[in-house]
Amino acid sequence: MRIKKGSRVTFHYELRDDKGELIDSTFDGEPVIYIQGEGEIITGLEEFLEGEEPGFEAKVSIPPEKGYGVKNDELIVFAGPDNFDDNVELEVGATVETEDPDGNTIVFRIIDIEDDKVYLDGNHPLADKTLDYKVEVLEVH
In a 3-state reduction of DSSP, which class is residue 91?
coil
What pLDDT digit, counting tens, does each position of 74-99 carry? 999 999 988 888 888 899 999 999 88
Q: Which domain holds residue 136?
A: 8-69+126-140
If one counts the domains in the chain, the total is 2
**Is residue 63 domain-shared with residue 18, that is, in the same domain?**
yes
Average pLDDT of the residues of the chain? 95
**Is residue 58 domain-shared with residue 86, that is, in the same domain?**
no
**Is residue 14 domain-shared with residue 80, that is, in the same domain?**
no
Domain of 92, CATH number, reads 2.40.10.330
**Is residue 16 domain-shared with residue 65, that is, in the same domain?**
yes
Task: Kindly state whether residue 33 falls inside one of the protein's structural domains.
Answer: yes
Distance CA 114, CA 131 (A): 32
Could you tell me the pTM of the whole model? 0.84
Mean pLDDT across 106-127 = 94
* CB-based contact 117:79 (threshold 8 Å): yes
